[in-house]
Structure 1
Amino acid sequence: MRALYVTHPQVEIDANVPLPLWGLNAEGTRRAQAFAGRGVVPAGSMIFSSRETKAMQLADILAEAAGSLVLSDHLMGENDRSATGFLPPNLFEAMADRFFAKPLVSTDGWERAIDAQSRIVQTVRTAMASVPAGTPAIFCGHGAVGTLLKCHVAGRAISRSEDQSRHANRGGGNCFTFDLEDMKLGCEWTAMEDFAPGWFG
């Protein structure tokens, strides 16, 4: 069954607020609302989300447009980076490079990429088992675990080259379609603005 994975767009960065509690900023909210308004999410879709604030805000916007409810699961959350907390952009990018380059190793206490991949794949598989045949499934989440899911479905090695920042909008708000049962990737990361309605038909 084909599904859609969508990452949250731009967030309000605040070093004094725990990362999971960051919300969408004005630009991120605008992009999410525009995406929902284009009819990309079919009416009646099942919408799943990470419990992090930014992902839930995206999911709520899509659910309102589709007349759906949101099912949230903390296991859909981003890779655990609590060991280091907030990092300035240059340090974060260096850490992210290491995270993807050595998936079997914990980067300064970060969740290992191989573990985050196993978690997101299993959680998405469990969620998909609850989706009735013919019902669109939407997953609202994050760039790193989304990339790990994409690598698994496509049968590719974990690599930063697969990250959304290398293919679409660097600020997030990107998506791809996939079929976990058939292990088929429908498209590479695509910015919200460039993703066409009708993907589920």
Structure 2
Amino acid sequence: MAQILFVTHPEVVIDPEVPVPRWPLSAKGRARMEALAEALAGLPVRAIWSSDEQKAIDGAEILSERLQAPHRVDAALGENDRSATGYIAPPRFWEVVAEFFAHPDVSVLGWETARDAQSRIRAAMARVESEAQPGLTVVVSHGGVGQLLTAALQGVAIGQEAKSPNPSGGGYLLLEAFPLRLAGDGWGDIDAITADPHWDGLKRDA
């Protein structure tokens, strides 16, 4: 059985002078991804995918090196295009994000619309699914991507989907392939995986 573990990157180095897509993982974020890699060691991990944003690449490379699984990059797994504004400091950023999800067909401040981003993400995940092998494929991506994907998989309106328990990063969705669907109720926290030495989310064929 092929399954996909969709992971949102954990904590990053926030630097207003650096374009947001080039922000790397922080020391804490790297440590959490290293702990996740250790927790997944011994499971049949076949491939690692990520967006082309630095924080996702950093997390994917940590997993790829520890798990000896190939790392593939797909830019379409990235967050919605926010280049029209660049960095926006909180709390204004979270206000704009709320508008983004509340009005999915509107380009808020010139951002890519939620509807367009969701279509792009669904196509990217279809590519991941098409290459998934029996065992586990891990995707390292972003919180907004995960929310839009969840809405599509749950068949609900954008903004009505289940939310990650850790909005600052480090959540996960476990998906079944062929057809792509949620394997459980929705989001989990990667710290729950790393804290359980016996975690094995895979459903196995009888």
Scaled by the length of structure 2, what TM-score is found?
0.89
User: Map of 1:124-143 to 2, 5 A cutoff?
Assistant: 124-132=125-133, 134-143=134-143
CA distance in 1 between partners of 2:161 and 2:135 (Å): 32
Change in Cα spacing, 1:112 to 1:172, as seen in structure 2 (3 Å) is same
Structure 1 runs not aligned, ≥5 long? none
Match of 1:191 in 2: 189
- Per the alignment, residue 60 of structure 1 pairs with 61
Q: Does 2:183 correspond to 1:182?
A: no
Which residue pairs with 2:39 in the alignment?
Answer: 38
User: Is the contact made by 1:47 and 1:71 (CA closer than 8 Å) also made in structure 2?
Assistant: yes
Query: In the aligned structure 1, how far is the partner of 2:171 from the partner of 2:78?
Result: 16
How far apart are the structure 2 equivalents of 1:9 and 1:41?
22
How far the C-alpha of 1:37 sits from its partner, in A, is 1.2
What code does the residue aligned with 1:17 have? V
- The one-letter amino acid paired with 1:199 is G
Query: Mind listing any 5+ residue stretches in structure 2 that lack a counterpart?
Result: none
- In the TM superposition, residue 38 of structure 1 has moved relative to its aligned partner by 1.4
CA 10–124 in structure 1, closer or farther in 2 if over 3 Å, else same: same
CA offset at residue 41 of structure 1? 7.5
Contact 2:9 2:59 in 1 (8 A): yes
Q: Which runs of 4+ in 1 moved over 4 A?
A: none
Q: Which residue of 2 aligns with 1:3?
A: 4
Select between 62-71 and 177-186 the one with higher mean Cα deviation: 177-186
SS at match of 2:131: coil
Query: CA distance change for structure 1 residues 191 and 28 in 2, over 3 Å: closer, same or farther?
Result: same
1:38-187 matched pairs, under 5 angstroms: 38-39=39-40, 42-132=43-133, 134-159=134-159, 162-164=162-164, 168-179=165-176, 181-187=178-184
The structure-2 alpha-carbon separation of the partners of 1:173 and 1:40, relative to structure 1 and needing over 3 Å to count, comes to farther
Structure 1 residue identity aligned to 2:83? S
- 1:166-196 CA distance string (max 9 Å, x none): xx12320110112353353123221111136
TM superposition shift of 1:64: 1.5
Provide the aligned C-alpha RMSD in A: 1.7
Aligned length: 197
Fraction of identical pairs, as percent: 36
Cα deviation per residue 1:128-174 (whole Å; 9 max; x = unaligned)? 11223x1311111000011111111111211166332xxx1232011
Write the letter of the residue equivalent to 2:159. S
TM-score, normalising length from structure 1? Answer: 0.91
